[in-house]
Chain A
Amino acid sequence: MSSLNASTVRERRGIQRRDFLKVSVAASGGLLIGFQFPGLSRLASAQASVSTFMPNAFVRIGTNERITVIVNHSEMGQGVYTSLPMLLAEELDADWTKVGYESAPVDPKYNHPAFGMQVTGGSSSVWSGLEQFRQAGAAARAMLVAAAAQQWNVDAASCRTESGAVFNGSNRKLTYGQLVGSAAKVTPPEHVQLKDPKTFKLIGKPIKRLDTPVKLNGKAVFGIDVKLPGMLTAVIARPPIFGAKVKSFDDSRARSMPGVRKIVAVPAGVAVIADTFWQAKMAREALQVDWDEGSMQNFSTSQMMQEFRERSKSAGTSVRKDGDAAGALANAAKKIEAVYEVPYLSHLMMEPLNCVVDLRPDSCQVWTGSQFQTVDRANAAKVAGLPNEKVQLHTTFLGGGFGRRANPQSDFVVEAVHVAKAAGTPVKVIWTREDDMRGGWYRPAFLHAIEGGIDASGNAVSWRSRLIGQSIMTGTPFAAMMQGKDYDPASVEGVDDLPYAVPNVTVESHQAEINVPVQWLRSVGHSHTAFAVECFVDEMAFLAQKDPYQFRRQLLLKQPRHLGVLDLAAQKAGWDKPLPKGMGRGIAVHFAFGSYSAHVAEVSVTDGKVRVHRMVCAIDCGQYVNPGIIAAQTEGGAIFGASAALFQELTFESGRLQQTNFNTFPVMRMNECPEIETYIVESKEKAGGIGEPGVPCAAPAIANAVFAATGKRIRRLPIRMTEAI
């Protein structure tokens, strides 16, 4: 999701908080349990015979002392099943060894406090949950304290809590489990006092993840692992070209193959429904489908980029205009122009898309790794012909998300409901890796043309950015996120807020209309704007004959948090220390999703092959919750960005995607992975995101390091030395 509306809707949090505290008390167990699958709660098995106290929607306390935190964000690797429980447990004074997690069902009370629906995206889970989960923990604690005080006939203010128990004086103690019955009768507090951060025991500590054990013994349940009684498995013969439609199909061979139950046309293609995945896949190979290839049959990305280049010569929709960039450029002592190009990218989660649906006449149950529960449920309900309340979506672990599992059309959920309708039994639709990669909803390809000028003393005086690419918002239910602008803010985020002190800045956007489905991919617009902007700043520094780090410093003197991470990364990397011959060092800094990030990369180039040896990452995400998870996300983000920079490109010829698996769309591997160091800025500023901010700086830091090593500029990703300038 784009960062753009996070700030605007954040304002509504105050109201949300008051509503939240009114959430009613449910003292009985099982209310919210619904479906429990192994792995989603490490405490699930113990829960059945235990009475529980549920002071609010986010926590359940059992007579067995177990604390189950109900998490309204999806766990896709970013650690929300740990960081959000930490927030609640901190205020509850829970015994951390008794804390578990459970995924929230779809319900408005689990809506994202800023986005107004259940969604995981925009690197927002922790900052948006910060107050929500702390308040929930503090409210539960207050009720437990009140219950104990009543029992002892003392003033609640004279009681204290620690490690899952209430204490009074030197000899009175009641554990939270012992208070389950009486606390349920206490009226929830109207207001609670949150802890002074100085007294935090969990927040700010590198607490180990709660979901690690089940991810080491095969017990973690991902969508692809869900199995229901009587369930069949389906694969879909999907269009070879976007927009192609089934004209006819011949299933005479396929339908007599072992295990095949049904072959049926669905809106997504032709579904082959069988007892097992392999039988369905084999039958799909025997299926003959005649496609009406539609209007995209001649589509070629090389031609598209040529058209983008042409279009970059004319002015686009104005996004930002400070001063007179054209005039300043005309008077500049030195000028430079550069055209940066980035390709379509696939999210390429390790777990290919899949969805399980059990459709009954009056209910529909969906199991999948969703980032978009509210939207997915509503879209499933529409196809099922049921009201929303009759549809429940169970969020499993996600084998990676990166935005793909928050699809505006719920493509992988909707098609599974269609297949379930046809199957008449519970069904699991599995996408093969090839299906997943061909399935669209990519990070759009972009061209970003920049012209800049410096004066005689080497000061930057003019900057004009012109971007051409598809909008991820136009035409979707999320067009409202464009906030009435005639350009897509997600296309230009990261350059519209250019932080450098350049007096004359113009940013323009051209929207390309191409029938390739696109959407948000980890760091969204920042995934390409940071590359262009940070490479161009480097080119300007060279033009001004200044050190790229010092050149940035001078232009960021009024941006203390940019400067903070820039200096930290440069200092930790040893910016001034010479490198062995043949190696180069590059730097980049960027703000995204409420956080500031800077990377220094060290590379060598041998026989045209770029090797990244070391990356030093500085991150300022404001107040932070779990530095262990922050380090993991920063490293992972750097690797994600480096993979795209070094290896990844989707191309189309005659409308057909040329890359279909890891062999043609590579991901960085162990032997290619650099040393990565992460340094976190201590800060009391408002919390920012961490899932995405580690991505944008990787590509420009590497590209700038390639220049330092070879004197060749990289203006197109993925990096190919044969294309270097």
Chain B
Amino acid sequence: MVGFSVNGKRVDLDVDPSTPLLWVIREHLDLTGTKYGCGMAQCGACTVHINGEAVRSCVAPVSRATGKAVTTIEGLSPDLSHLLQRAWLEEDVPQCGYCQSGQLMSAAVLLRQKPRPTDDDIDEAMTGNICRCGTYLRIRRAIHRAAEMVAKEGTR
């Protein structure tokens, strides 16, 4: 049994502890917002938070989450009210949308650690997240926009 919390809910699962967290989230918990892209921590589509840190869930065994708090895109906010989701809406960021869960989860950690990130900070935090459609410029603008909201409204 592996026990941890996902988006605030406690789960105990009878799974092989070496199974990547990604597939447990997708196939056992039916939270399909977290995506498979490469299986080797190259693309960032599978990014989730474990205790607030951005983790590539495709290479993290589920055992790594034991006793910890996992947040997926579904837990970022239930109603698109997270500053980043609002900024993403305002910049109309996604194209195909497949990578965007991972982009948002990486950006959320960046914004918590650096409420006014520079372009270099954004490069550093977001370079692990590939977008094949090429939405990078809008992602960058959306992160800056969210940072402005943080300055005005405070973090939520």
Given the complex, which residues of B lie within 8 Å of A209, measured CB to CB? Answer: 92, 94
Query: Roughly how many angstroms separate A213 CA and B89 CA in the complex, as a whole number?
Result: 7
Give the number of residues in B that approach A within 8 Å (Cβ atoms): 60
Query: Which residues does chain A contribute within 8 Å of B77, judged by CB atoms?
Result: 217
Q: List the B side residues contacting A221 at CB < 8 Å.
A: 32
Interface string of B62-84 (1 = CB under 8 A from A): 00000000001110111010000
Report Cα–Cα, A292/B20, bound state, in Å. Answer: 33
Which chain B residues in 115-138 approach chain A with CB under 8 Å? 122-124, 126-138
Q: Which residue of B lies closest to A636 (CB)?
A: B134
Contact indicator per residue, chain B 98-129, by CB within 8 Å of chain A (1) or not (0)? 11110010000000000000000011101111
- Nearest residue (CB) in B for A258 is B16
Which of B38, B45, B98 neighbours the largest number of chain A CB atoms within 10 Å of its CB? B98
Cβ–Cβ < 8 Å partners of A220 in chain B: 97
Stretch at the interface among A324-332, A559-567, A597-605, A664-672: A664-672
The reply on A675 being an interface residue by CB < 8 A is yes
Q: Does B31 contact A (CB under 8 A)?
A: yes
Given contacts A216-B80, A217-B33, A400-B133, contact A350 B92 (CB under 8 A): no
| A526 CA to B40 CA, complexed, in Å | 33
Residues of B within 8 A of A352 (CB): 36-37
Q: Is A433's CB within 8 Å of the partner chain B?
A: yes
Main secondary structure of the interface of B (DSSP, over half): loop
A350 touches which of B20, B43, B80, B123 (Cβ 8 Å): B43
Chain B's closest residue to A675 (CB) is: B137
**In the bound complex, what is the Cα–Cα distance between A227 and B38 (angstroms)?**
21
Say whether B85 faces chain A, with CB atoms less than 8 Å apart.
yes
A224 and B35 contacting across the interface, CB-CB below 8 Å: yes
The chain B residue with its CB closest to the CB of A276 is B27
Q: Is A348 engaged at the interface, CB distance under 8 Å to the other chain?
A: yes
Give which listed residue, B98, B100, B136, contacts A216 with CB less than 8 A.
B100
Known contacts: A209-B94, A216-B94, A670-B126. The answer to whether A278 contacts B99 by CB under 8 A is no
- A661–B73 Cα distance when bound, in Å, is 25
Instruction: Compute how far the CA of A645 lies from the CA of B43 in the bound complex, rounded to whole angstroms.
Output: 20
CB distance from A78 to the nearest CB of B (A): 7
Query: Which residues of A lie under 8 Å from residue B76 when comparing CB positions?
Result: 217
Does residue A628 face the partner (Cβ distance < 8 Å to B)?
Answer: yes
A76: CB under 8 A from chain B? Answer: yes
- Cα of A635 to Cα of B137 in the assembled complex, Å: 8
Other-chain contact of B100, A215, A432, A628 (Cβ < 8 Å) = A215
Chain B residue nearest to A206 in the complex (CB): B92
Q: Which residues of A contact B38 (CB under 8 A)?
A: 433, 661-662
Q: Within 8 Å CB of A216, what residues of B? A: 73, 80, 85, 88-89, 94, 100, 104
CB-nearest residue of chain B relative to A676?
B137
| Known A-B contacts A77-B95, A433-B38; A671 and B123 likewise in contact (beta carbons under 8 Å) | yes
Interface centre among A78, A225, A432, A673 (most CB of B within 10 A): A673
| 8 Å CB contact of B94 from A211, A637, A663 | A211
* B96 contacts A by Cβ under 8 Å: yes
A-B contact pairs, 25 of them (CB 8 A): A77-B95, A77-B133, A208-B89, A216-B100, A218-B31, A218-B74, A221-B32, A227-B32, A233-B27, A276-B27, A277-B36, A278-B16, A278-B23, A278-B27, A350-B43, A350-B131, A398-B96, A632-B92, A633-B95, A663-B40, A663-B42, A670-B126, A670-B129, A671-B123, A673-B137
> Could you list which residues of chain A lie within 8 angstroms of chain B, going by C-beta atoms?
75-79, 208-209, 211-222, 224-225, 227, 233, 258, 276-278, 348-352, 397-402, 430, 432-433, 628, 632-633, 635-640, 661-663, 667-671, 673, 675-676
Sorted nearest first, the 9 A-B pairs with minimum C-beta distance are A218-B33, A399-B98, A639-B134, A215-B97, A77-B96, A77-B95, A636-B134, A225-B32, A671-B123
Known: A208-B89, A277-B26, A668-B136. 4 other contacts (CB 8 A): A277-B23, A350-B98, A632-B92, A670-B126
